[in-house]
Structure 1
Amino acid sequence: MGAYCMYEVKPTRPVASRWRFAIAGIIMCAVSLVRAQTPQSIRLAGEEWPPYLARGLPDDGLTGAMLRAVLDRLGYTATIDYFPWRRAVEVGMHDPRYAGVMPVLRTPEREKQCHFSTPLGRTSYVLAFLKDQPVRAGSLAGLRELRIGTVSGYSYSAEFDTQAAQGTLTVEEAVNDETNLRKLLFRRFPVVVIDRQVLRYLLAKPTFTPADRERIGTSDGLFRERTMHLCFRRTSVGQMQQQAFDNAAREIDLPRLEREYWRRIGYDG
């Protein structure tokens, strides 16, 4: 359902106040309203990917905290609905009830599907393996003789994604990172690719024993750090939302917010 609205920037307001009021007006007009939403809320799709996005963490995780800080500048709140990753992408990008999907890493293909927000956190992938069978690879070529655990629909790097799609790298896709760690412990494959902080969070859960944690080692250097974003739907409305969001984000020290969030949940980032 579309919505029509008008707003007026009163000339008596200070310049900064008029600007903020105008931006809030843009996003208010841009958001498609549905019965399940209040006029001051936008709806987003996402996947449980702690510590970046998760219902059980303060403000729905690091990315959720950044999202809410920006929307708060505009007088908005966010409703985040959780789905498996591929379903979250489908809903967030195509269901008109949703403004978008998060967190998303930029790829050339996704550039054609999204209006990407300013960065909302960073991700750094590592190789995880069993310490009694260590995997040391100086390049992706060093992984070509191995089966590699990955998550369906995830992007790891342009080179890795291309080689996996071409079959140069042999990957076995799972529904999530926790499943991959279980398979690794059962020696279903010798190595998985996983975000460093996600690995740390998952292994700290009581579902993994101290013995499990002790068995797993890591190696980094194959993957560069990448930024995560809110992917607004690639429509004229989505573009207005993205522009309003990014204008508000410029008023917030997001790197400082990220550091504070890691300390808040007991991480060093």
Structure 2
Amino acid sequence: MTSMGFTSFQLQAFRSSIGAALLSLACACAPAAAEVLRLATGQFAPYATQERPDQGIALDIVRRAFALEGFEVEYTFKPWTRTLEESRAGLWDATAYWGRNPERDKGFLISDNVLTEQWVLVYRQAAFKEAPFDWKGLIDLKGLRIGVVQSYTYTPEFLALLKAGTLNTVTAPDDLASLRLLIGGRLDVVPMERNVACYLMQHHFMDSEVQDLRAHPRLFAPNFTTHVMFSDKLPDSAARLQAFNRGLRALKRTPAYTEKLNWPGCRLNAIAPAPERTPAKPKR
């Protein structure tokens, strides 16, 4: 017998039960490890890029939305075509981020809108000497030299005018090449995503080269939504889609979401009211 009235066997059992209870309590209080999701993506700076600590505006929004629902995200960068094919086959938990396309969407569950891209017409002020550049409909762009990127889809109305030969376009391999043609005076306007243009201006040109560039306030493609896509071959995709949408709705109610959407200090962010006048034609 011990001094407290227990046998050594009883005391050992008592201590074991107390230890088990404390261990159980510790496990109940410890936060569960976040589930890690592997997402495939491609390069489209500044929205998806390995060059930024946050891996891009859009990818950071996706990461934050998932985090609000208890998920961690790991991105792997691949060519966009491989990203799409492998994600559709279920080799990745999801892929970000994509515009809507009926053919491309096949085999996927599509999330709510991550962000709406700000497609605008970028132009040189010096090309429009008689009056500031203005446009109200695509037909107003007739007679202008318009830069387009060979792999981009654009809008159905724009493509119809191109097919009809109504609009005069110059094709470039990418946005950077289009900007170089615009700065060099070989183009009058270029449809381009605002933050993409700001990124390229900051990283590839001197300020003196781009100081005359402006963006018209009217959106060229006002409904260009973007999304996370989940393969319909994975059993957890539906639940993960719902969780992401919940997190995204919560994130959009915070200032952090709005702050991510503008490129700080870019002159293309300055939006002035469009003048009410006949659309101006460039002086060349």
- TM-score for the superposition, normalised by structure 1: 0.69
Contact 1:45 1:91 in 2 (8 A): no
Gaps (5+ residues) in structure 2?
A: 1-31, 270-284
The structure having more radius of gyration, on CA atoms, is 2
| Alignment partners' CA distance in 2, 1:129 and 1:251 | 37
Residue 206 of structure 2 corresponds to: 209
Deviation of 1:149 after TM superposition, in Å, equals 1.9
- Verify: 1:127 aligned to 2:121, yes or no: yes
Residue 40 of structure 1 corresponds to: 36
Residue 182 of structure 1 corresponds to: 180
1:216-235 equivalences in 2 (<5 Å): 216-221=213-218, 222-235=220-233
Aligned amino acid, residue 141 of structure 2: L
Residue 245 of structure 1 corresponds to: 244
Secondary structure, aligned partner of 2:56: helix
In structure 2, relative to structure 1, the CA distance for the partners of 1:158 and 1:242 (3 Å cut) is farther
Give the number of aligned pairs: 230
In structure 2, relative to structure 1, the CA distance for the partners of 1:149 and 1:70 (3 Å cut) is same
Deviation of 1:84 after TM superposition, in Å, equals 4.9
Deviation of 1:181 after TM superposition, in Å, equals 0.8
Root mean square deviation of aligned Cα: 3.4
Deviation of 1:110 after TM superposition, in Å, equals 4.3
Aligned amino acid, residue 211 of structure 1: S
Deviation of 1:190 after TM superposition, in Å, equals 2.5
Deviation of 1:126 after TM superposition, in Å, equals 1.1
| Alignment partners' CA distance in 2, 1:215 and 1:87 | 38
Secondary structure, aligned partner of 2:55: helix
Residue 135 of structure 2 corresponds to: 137
- Verify: 1:116 aligned to 2:107, yes or no: no
Residue 192 of structure 1 corresponds to: 190
Contact 2:146 2:170 in 1 (8 A): yes
- Verify: 1:160 aligned to 2:167, yes or no: no
Contact 2:117 2:193 in 1 (8 A): yes
| Alignment partners' CA distance in 2, 1:151 and 1:234 | 31
| Alignment partners' CA distance in 2, 1:79 and 1:71 | 11
| Alignment partners' CA distance in 1, 2:113 and 2:137 | 27
Residue 33 of structure 1 corresponds to: none
Contact 2:66 2:243 in 1 (8 A): no
Contact 1:45 1:100 in 2 (8 A): no
Gaps (5+ residues) in structure 1?
A: 1-20, 29-38
Deviation of 1:255 after TM superposition, in Å, equals 5.5
Q: 1:69 aligns with which of 53, 64, 67?
A: 64
- TM-score for the superposition, normalised by structure 2: 0.66
Residue 53 of structure 1 corresponds to: 48
Aligned amino acid, residue 146 of structure 2: I
Residue deviations 1:33-86 (CA, integer Å, cap 9, x gap): xxxxxx723121222221x22222242122112111122234433232334555
Contact 2:147 2:191 in 1 (8 A): yes
